[in-house]
Amino acid sequence: MKKLKTALFCLLLAGLQTNAQSMKPIYLDNSQPIERRVEDALSRMTLEEKVALCHAQSKFSSHGVPRLGIPEIWMSDGPHGVREEIQWDSWGNAGFTNDSCTAYPALTCLAATFNPEMSHAYGVAIGEEARYRRKDILLGPGVNIYRTPMNGRNFEYMGEDPYLASVMVVPYIKGVQQNGVAACVKHFALNNQEEWRGHINVNLSDRALYEIYLPAFKAAVEEGKVWSIMGSYNQLRGQHCCHNDLLLNKILKTDWQFDGAVVTDWGGAYDTKQAALNGLDIEMGSYTNGLSSKAKFGYEDYYLAKPFLDLLKKGEVPVSVVDDKARRVLRLIFRTAMTPNRPYGRFVCEDHSATARKVAEEGIVLLKNDKQFFPVPVGKYQRIAVIGENATRSVTEGGGSSTLKVKYEVSPLDGFISKYGKEHVTYSMGYASGPSLYDREEPSKLNADSLIKAAVETAKNADVVYFVGGLNKNHFQDAEGGDRKNYSLPYGQDKLIDAILKVNKNIAIILISGNAVSMPWVKDVPAIVQTWYLGSEGGNAIANVLSGAVNPSGKLPFSFPKKLEDNAAHSFGKIAYPGDSINEYYKEDILVGYRWFDTKKIAPQFAFGYGLSYTTFEYGKITTDKTTYKADETVKVSFTLKNTGKVDGAEAVQVYASQPKASVIRPAKELKAFKKVFLKAGETQTVSVDVKVKDLAFYNEKNMSWTVEPGEFVLRNAASSAEVKSSVAIQVK
């Protein structure tokens, strides 16, 4: 009898377990396809819960569905490191002690590597840090095009060429998202200046839009499969980009079939009905009072909160609109916070430091090196003068949303002392960038004349001078919220360089910036290095490159004009940049960056794709696998590359295309392929790259489609846009 009771109990328990499993909501079952989980969750939600998914609940989080066990979404700046924790409803530091991150090089540096493998390693590392900090969305990377060197946020982006940005953004996204963290590509689109960014109305041709400003975003969606996109503050053709029918509904969600969520830039929404109907999914940052407004819940005042709910209840907006938004947000949550087998991440570890240093080393660009000034190996000089505030200034602070609280930061001066020895390095500030330094030095010591005098004395007694200058992340330098006011180096640096040259001509200019600068001293100094904002390992990376421990291989991701008026946007006057405060017209059209310089035959100071090495490379003649191609074929391009020097090195080879006779204006050449090639001293490799014939198309404004015209095209291998090695003609039928 006892055995029978036990058997009956076991059968009953098994039945209860089976029933419990069959009753488990599909949306909680990780074994189910995401789309089935999304539809199941959506079917269980009230209208109020659907609307709640569409707006913020704090500075950096948006609602989940607590009743159903669906978690909130937590977001973090930024593209170069995971931002410190801030207070729930203000921009103040939350006071955590465990949120000091690894700072990675700015994205201008990543683009300068011309190495997609570095981009993937970068994405993996920063994604691991975001995952460890329990973030669901990392607000980056940025891929807006470098149109003018005055843009305060250029350092956050990937340069002037849409193809380079397209190739480099995809592995970054994949690296981040393999950690169960969504990348959020920004700012969609045309956020190419900070001046009047909240309202400036951009007017441009369809060709410029599709050929220059959209390709990197398209690659992020179609190839990178990015899970979220951030809108931009500015307007396009009279509509704000965070709820722009053309950008979000037609291009992003219809043409590109984007299935993720569109997030506003903070405060980027302006109207409930437009936000509802024109493609926005999650509204962030519209108000800064929030809970502190003493309202029951201040975030309910957002455009996509109670006002949106009211429109839905009145029938002025169909429920299908909120269902689409809720689907996208749920899909995002199931891909991140509710995905199975999500890794735990890692934070501030040796591997991340190594990745940050490697990206920095590969991105540093040697611009000038007369008489082999560099490398300067340990022991060559006994007295090294390091002059310039940027040698000691933190480059992880300031700049707006790229500000980071870092575990550590190696300054250039730290790197030089570590490399050459403290007894061989002497430092002088030389210039000061403002009151922010007064807490470190007495104001009397920051007098400009006194600083120059002290620097000149230091230089006079040195064997070699490393001048570490450039820009910084102060307002109106490389910073969010304001564009640069002048193309020259700030804080009297040009005057300081001239003074140093009078007493010591053995000087190298080491620029830290995310933008091009004027160089009135370019012919007088023997060496110039562009080093970007390099993050936690910046000082070590710079010292390794300058000492010869690492052979430089970076290439410029944008052109340096000799004078500002040589830049395409500036050549047309203020209506083309920064506009008249209401409208702005992109009069240079598709001729952005090197496309302008090459087509108009204007010599830049330093060309796109340019960068020197401590070795030399010999390019063989470019060849193709055949001479005639159809529109759906791929051109197999090859040539030899030989390291003809005495040290190992890497060269970022480039392939450009042009169409000599076309029915529309076309640039003199356009980048269509590149490859980072690593060669031992004396080694020769055959370099092979593919160019798809369809990528030779232009955007046809007559029929609103991409067109490859039959006829002759010319392919060129090159070391930069200004240094073509050889060319080959092909026919397209």
Mean pLDDT of 386-399: 95
**Confidence band, pLDDT 50/70/90 cuts, at residue 15:** very low
For the cut 60, the answer to whether the pLDDT of residue 1 exceeds it is: no
- Positions annotated as catalytic residues are 265
How large is the angle between the packed helices 162-177 and 215-222, nearest 10 degrees? 30
Side-chain-side CA neighbours of 131 within 13 Å: the count stands at 26
Structure tokens at 200: 């400036």
The CA-based diameter of the chain, rounded to the nearest angstrom, is 108
Looking at residue 296, its pLDDT comes to 53
Mean pLDDT of 380-397: 96
Among residues 217, 216, 220, the alpha carbon closest in space to that of 244 is found at 217
The whole-angstrom separation of Cα 377 and Cα 175 is 36
Question: 442-458: per-residue pLDDT in tens?
Answer: 555 678 999 999 999 99
For the cut 80, the answer to whether the pLDDT of residue 8 exceeds it is: no
Whether 330 and 70 have beta carbons less than 8 Å apart is answered as yes
Question: 110-127: per-residue pLDDT in tens?
Answer: 999 999 999 999 999 999
Q: What percent of the chain has pLDDT over 90?
A: 91
How large is the angle between the packed helices 493-501 and 448-460, nearest 10 degrees? 30
Mean pLDDT of 53-66: 96
Return the higher-pLDDT residue of 89 and 594: 594
Looking at residue 89, its pLDDT comes to 84
Return the higher-pLDDT residue of 446 and 466: 466
For the cut 80, the answer to whether the pLDDT of residue 54 exceeds it is: yes
> Can you give the C-alpha Rg of the chain in angstroms?
27
For the cut 90, the answer to whether the pLDDT of residue 297 exceeds it is: no
For the cut 70, the answer to whether the pLDDT of residue 733 exceeds it is: yes
Mean pLDDT of 230-247: 98
Least confident of 6-15, 71-80, 585-594: 6-15
Looking at residue 243, its pLDDT comes to 98
For the cut 50, the answer to whether the pLDDT of residue 436 exceeds it is: no
Return the higher-pLDDT residue of 20 and 452: 452
Q: Output the average pLDDT for the chain.
A: 94
Structure tokens at 325: 């938004």
For the cut 70, the answer to whether the pLDDT of residue 21 exceeds it is: no
Looking at residue 115, its pLDDT comes to 98
Question: 152-178: per-residue pLDDT in tens?
Answer: 999 999 999 999 999 999 999 999 999
Give Cα 356 to chain centroid, integer Å.
15
Looking at residue 442, its pLDDT comes to 55
Residue with tokens 């008489």: 371
Question: 344-361: per-residue pLDDT in tens?
Answer: 999 999 999 999 999 999
Strand partners, 689: 637
Residue 207 — φ and ψ, nearest 5°?
-60, -50
Mean pLDDT of 140-159: 98
The whole-angstrom separation of Cα 29 and Cα 35 is 12
Determine if the peptide bond prior to 375 is cis (ω within 30°): yes
The whole-angstrom separation of Cα 644 and Cα 617 is 6
pTM listed for this prediction: 0.95
Q: What's 222-286 look like in SS3?
A: HCCCCCEEEECCCEECCEEHHHCHHHHHHHHHHHCCCCCEEECCCCCCCCHHHHHHCCCCEECCC
The whole-angstrom separation of Cα 239 and Cα 608 is 33
Q: What percent of the chain has pLDDT over 70?
A: 94
Looking at residue 660, its pLDDT comes to 97
For the cut 80, the answer to whether the pLDDT of residue 693 exceeds it is: yes
Q: How far is CA 437 from CA 163, 402, 533, in A?
A: 41, 20, 19
Q: How far is CA 332 from CA 60, 77, 110, 261, 417, in A?
A: 16, 18, 27, 7, 47
Looking at residue 91, its pLDDT comes to 86
For the cut 90, the answer to whether the pLDDT of residue 636 exceeds it is: yes
Looking at residue 18, its pLDDT comes to 38
For the cut 50, the answer to whether the pLDDT of residue 438 exceeds it is: no
Strand partners, 612: 366
The whole-angstrom separation of Cα 324 and Cα 312 is 13
H or E element in which residue 412 lies: helix 412-420
For the cut 90, the answer to whether the pLDDT of residue 12 exceeds it is: no
The whole-angstrom separation of Cα 94 and Cα 136 is 19
The whole-angstrom separation of Cα 406 and Cα 513 is 19
Looking at residue 726, its pLDDT comes to 98
Strand-pair category, 684-692 with 698-700: unpaired
Among residues 654, 652, 662, 653, the alpha carbon closest in space to that of 696 is found at 662
Q: How many CB atoms lie within 10 A of CB 123?
A: 30
The whole-angstrom separation of Cα 112 and Cα 114 is 5
Question: 321-348: per-residue pLDDT in tens?
Answer: 999 999 999 999 999 999 998 999 999 9
For the cut 80, the answer to whether the pLDDT of residue 308 exceeds it is: yes
Residue 578's contacts (CB-CB under 8 Å, 6 or more residues apart) are 150, 193, 195, 196, 200, 483, 584
Looking at residue 655, its pLDDT comes to 98
Give Cα 505 to chain centroid, integer Å.
36
Looking at residue 292, its pLDDT comes to 45
Which domains are seen in the chain, by residue range?
2-89+100-335 (3.20.20.300), 356-557 (3.40.50.1700), 615-732 (2.60.40.10)
DSSP 3-state of 528? strand
The whole-angstrom separation of Cα 694 and Cα 632 is 6
Looking at residue 19, its pLDDT comes to 39
Strand partners, 153: none
The whole-angstrom separation of Cα 359 and Cα 81 is 14
Looking at residue 408, its pLDDT comes to 97
